[in-house]
Structure 1
């Protein structure tokens, strides 16, 4: 089991820690509002991650594969949500202003981010093709390891975002940071749309 767990973590390393829709949203939230502001969204995202991962591990991915129209609709809703977040960042001024145009998303926003992120579904399905029959790890075990590893990645990305804010604390530079983060999120949305 120890070897299987190590293999799973090595497999997840580039997937969980490389830039993607979730990581970029949490980096932007960390930059905009600080790391502590991300905990509600992270809790929502990762509660949904655990449930969706378990469902995929138990066969939900097959059901979506048989209904490509529904899968595409889920994908496009995710694209629109990430674009909405990018729009809020684009319009935002300096970090931590009293009237913030890009509020931190909460528990429900975190759930929405996961549910409408088709890239997450693909990563999860890929993970189960490699580890579904792994000795010593049940579907629940793989689901839990995946979720906890992903939560750590999001926390690190939020910290990176918060660190960027310290370097760009003046209103002029904060606006540039927000616009840069917005463009990153918009790029992620395009990537989600064509993926």
Structure 2
């Protein structure tokens, strides 16, 4: 159990600083409306994430196979699949990875300084 917990934390920690849609949403809303006004959205976002995570952990992932329209991030999967053809060569893949690393580092530094 300890190994699984450590692995989960190591997997999830970078996601907290990634420039994903949730983080961008909260950064933009926090800048526009202030921290207090974004608390309800923050709680709702994390409650939904928790419910989905628990559901998958309990084995309800069959829902996503039976009802593909249920998937919330299908757009990102489609974009990722489309990018695969463009970024397939080692040189372009390296450029993409370095770009994502720079963005991730920039967001982490920004959060530390903010």
TM beyond 0.5:
yes
Cα distance 1:28–1:192, how it changes in 2: closer, same or farther (>3 A)? farther
* RMSD over aligned Cα atoms: 2.4
Cα distance 1:56–1:8, how it changes in 2: closer, same or farther (>3 A)? same
Select which of 69, 72, 83 maps to 1:73: 69
Aligned residue in 2 for 1:143: none
Aligned residue in 2 for 1:35: 35
Cα distance 1:191–1:63, how it changes in 2: closer, same or farther (>3 A)? closer
Using the size of structure 2 for normalisation, the TM-score is 0.55
Cα distance 1:35–1:52, how it changes in 2: closer, same or farther (>3 A)? same
Written as runs of structure 1 = structure 2, the 5 A alignment for 1:153-192 is 191=76
**In structure 2, C-alpha distance between the alignment counterparts of 1:28 and 1:58, rounded to whole Å:** 34
What's the CA shift string for 1:67-99, capped at 9, x where partnerless?
Answer: 3xxxx5345xxxxxxxxxxxxxxxxxxxxxxxx
Written as runs of structure 1 = structure 2, the 5 A alignment for 1:58-137 is 58-67=58-67, 72-75=68-71, 118-119=72-73
Secondary structure at 2:19's aligned position in 1? Answer: coil
Structure with the largest fraction of helix: 2
Using the size of structure 1 for normalisation, the TM-score is 0.35
The unaligned stretches of length 5 or more in structure 2 are 81-114
Cα distance 1:193–1:36, how it changes in 2: closer, same or farther (>3 A)? farther
Secondary structure at 2:61's aligned position in 1? Answer: helix
Aligned residue in 2 for 1:178: none
**In structure 2, C-alpha distance between the alignment counterparts of 1:27 and 1:47, rounded to whole Å:** 18
Give yes or no for the alignment of 1:47 onto 2:47. Answer: yes
**Higher relative contact order (CA closer than 8 Å, sequence separation 6+):** 1
**In structure 2, C-alpha distance between the alignment counterparts of 1:23 and 1:192, rounded to whole Å:** 18
The unaligned stretches of length 5 or more in structure 1 are 76-117, 120-189
